[in-house]
């Protein structure tokens, strides 16, 4: 088969999974320094789209970095700067989204403290990442109070801004779930209005002994343990009640979820569509595996990295046919190339019509095209670091204003506002 030039064009966009424009979006990222393509396609590209549809808050989770690496703090500020330059280079727009640094908004810490008072230890101990990371990162000291509490710190990050939607990867969904449970518990404890509870308790009695006992039991299991199954069963129980007035019925639905006033609304995880960006060795692209292509890399470095990227080992010689399904280069094509190009790769690979370098060439081109504008944008910020500092300063002030409002409400509902 003769060599055909590649019909590759540009990359595809990321789809939004919701179009509810009324809600606030918040997400954070630990300061890990310059970004790689896995973070760009997996997270940042999604932020860039969200910022036009929602009110967005994006922040550098610098306290979170301390929860797993307090021994080495030298690079935090530099990593924050480098990462934010990459956000800006990738198109995160400080005119559209509020960008801030967590530790510049100390209200997060006060809410974390207050939430810690009502959070059962068992809720934190059962968060999957707790035991998981302790087992995996055994070169670190993860036996601290801060590490146990970091999902609660994340809950405070989310709840202080009353975020409705939290774009996260699958590994973080449990943390958003914890935030929901903590919010519900807080509202339950501090959001009750006078008389509400008495009315609800009176309505329970009207259901008859057996149903009343069941309702009380299921409600307790849901509110205290977050048992979703119990919530479903209690709702079904209420729906089946014949002799409740509409008012009592609504009261009991509300009471089931804590009742009373919502001080901290429950957030929803916005699951980011996983763009699987393979690393140069075929493993997941990750800084710790040293298999990354960075967001703005010199063109000759992109060239070199892709040329030496792992391929289907069965294609030892040019004439050996290959299998794109097992080749990380093909997976990278799936991130960047259109169907026509993918076809060209798959057929050329299986028939040995193209060589691996032919296959890699359009990929190198498309990555370098994507990076060109980012390199240029980043350079402007590198040349004027004060602009970056001002963006974060301004964003942090705006975030503080928002956070203070929530905190005032929280303090008042607890009864410590001293006004
Ligand atoms: N824990 C997240 C991570 O490790 C970062 C993070 C901190 C976050 N606070 C958040 C993400 C609030 C979303 C919302 O990736
Ligand atoms: Fe991989 Fe492309 Fe080589 Fe096939 S031709 S083995 S897809 S690099």
Q: Are residues 94 and 236 in the same domain?
A: no
Other C-beta atoms within 10 Å of 347: how many? 14
Q: Are residues 216 and 72 in the same domain?
A: no
Give a yes or no: residue 15 inside a domain.
no
Q: Are residues 31 and 161 in the same domain?
A: yes
Question: Does the CB atom of residue 359 touch ligand 2 within 6 A?
Answer: yes
- Tell which wins on pLDDT, 138 or 209: 209
Give the chain's radius of gyration (CA, Å).
26
The two tokens of residue 38 are 């896995």
pLDDT given at position 10: 33
Identify the band that residue 160 occupies on the pLDDT scale cut at 50, 70 and 90: very high
Contacts of 139 (CB under 8 A, 6+ apart): none
Site to substitute for ligand 1 among 30, 105, 175, most atoms within 8 A of C-beta: 175
Q: Are residues 151 and 208 in the same domain?
A: no
Q: Are residues 174 and 216 in the same domain?
A: no
Give a yes or no: residue 12 inside a domain.
no
Distance between Cα 346 and ligand 2 center (Å): 8
Give a yes or no: residue 261 inside a domain.
no
Q: Which atom of ligand 1 is nearest to the CA of 150?
A: 1
Q: Are residues 154 and 246 in the same domain?
A: no
Give a yes or no: residue 263 inside a domain.
no
Q: Which domain holds residue 238?
A: 197-256
User: What is the pTM for the complete model shown?
Assistant: 0.82
Distance between Cα 399 and ligand 1 center (Å): 16
Q: Are residues 181 and 301 in the same domain?
A: no
Nearest to 183 by CA among 269, 267, 264: 264
- Helix extents (H) in 267-355: 299-307, 328-336, 339-350
Q: Are residues 161 and 225 in the same domain?
A: no
Identify the band that residue 258 occupies on the pLDDT scale cut at 50, 70 and 90: low
Instruction: Supply the mean pLDDT for the chain.
Output: 89
Give a yes or no: residue 14 inside a domain.
no
Give a yes or no: residue 1 inside a domain.
no
Q: Are residues 208 and 148 in the same domain?
A: no
Distance between Cα 324 and ligand 2 center (Å): 6
Identify the band that residue 248 occupies on the pLDDT scale cut at 50, 70 and 90: confident
pLDDT given at position 103: 98
Q: Are residues 32 and 169 in the same domain?
A: yes
Number of domains in the chain: 3
**CATH code for position 361:** 1.10.240.10
Q: Following CA atoms 74, 138, 84, 304 in sequence, which dihedral angle do they give, to the nearest 10 degrees?
A: 100
Q: Are residues 68 and 161 in the same domain?
A: yes
Q: Are residues 227 and 371 in the same domain?
A: no
The per-residue pLDDT for range 77-96, each reduced to its tens digit, is: 999 999 999 999 999 999 99
**Closest residue to atom 8 of ligand 2, CA basis:** 356
Question: Does the CB atom of residue 361 touch ligand 2 within 6 A?
Answer: no
């Amino acid at each position: 088969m003769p060599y055909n030039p590649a019909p590759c064009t540009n990359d595809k966009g990321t789809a939004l999974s919701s179009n509810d424009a009324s809600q606030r979006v918040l997400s954070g990222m630990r300061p890990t320094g310059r970004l790689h393509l896995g973070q760009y396609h997996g997270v940042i590209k999604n932020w860039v789209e969200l910022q036009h549809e929602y009110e967005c808050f994006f922040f550098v989770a610098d306290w979170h970095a301390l929860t797993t690496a307090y021994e080495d703090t030298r690079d935090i500020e530099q990593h924050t700067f480098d990462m934010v330059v990459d956000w800006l280079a990738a198109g995160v727009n400080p005119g559209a989204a509020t960008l801030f640094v967590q530790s510049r908004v100390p209200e997060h810490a006060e809410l974390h403290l207050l939430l810690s008072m009502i959070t059962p230890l068992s809720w934190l101990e059962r968060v999957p990442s707790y035991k998981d990371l302790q087992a995996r990162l055994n070169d670190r000291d993860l036996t601290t109070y801060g590490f146990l509490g970091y999902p609660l710190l994340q809950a405070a990050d989310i709840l202080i801004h009353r975020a409705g939607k939290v774009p996260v990867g699958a590994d973080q969904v449990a943390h958003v779930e914890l935030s929901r449970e903590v919010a519900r518990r807080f509202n339950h404890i501090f959001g009750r209005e006078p008389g509400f509870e008495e009315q609800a308790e009176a309505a329970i009695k009207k259901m008859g002994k057996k149903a009343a006992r069941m309702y009380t039991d299921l409600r307790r299991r849901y509110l205290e343990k977050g048992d979703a199954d119990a919530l479903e069963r209690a709702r079904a129980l209420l729906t089946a009640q014949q002799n409740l007035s509409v008012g009592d019925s609504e009261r009991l639905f509300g009471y089931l979820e804590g009742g009373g006033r919502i001080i901290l609304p429950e957030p929803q995880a916005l699951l980011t569509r996983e763009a699987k960006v393979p690393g140069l060795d075929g493993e997941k692209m990750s800084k710790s595996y040293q298999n990354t292509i960075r967001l703005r890399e010199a063109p000759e470095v992109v060239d070199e990295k892709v040329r030496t990227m792992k391929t289907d080992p069965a294609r030892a010689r040019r004439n050996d046919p290959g299998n794109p399904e097992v080749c990380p280069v093909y997976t990278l094509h799936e991130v960047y190339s259109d169907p026509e190009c993918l076809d060209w790769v798959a057929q050329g690979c299986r028939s040995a019509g193209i060589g691996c370098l032919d296959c890699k060439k359009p990929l190198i081109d498309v990555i370098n095209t994507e990076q060109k504008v980012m390199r240029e944008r980043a350079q402007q910020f590198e040349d004027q670091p004060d602009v970056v500092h001002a963006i974060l300063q301004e964003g942090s002030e705006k975030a503080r204003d928002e956070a203070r409002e929530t905190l005032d409400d929280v303090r008042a509902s607890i009864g410590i506002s001293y006004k």
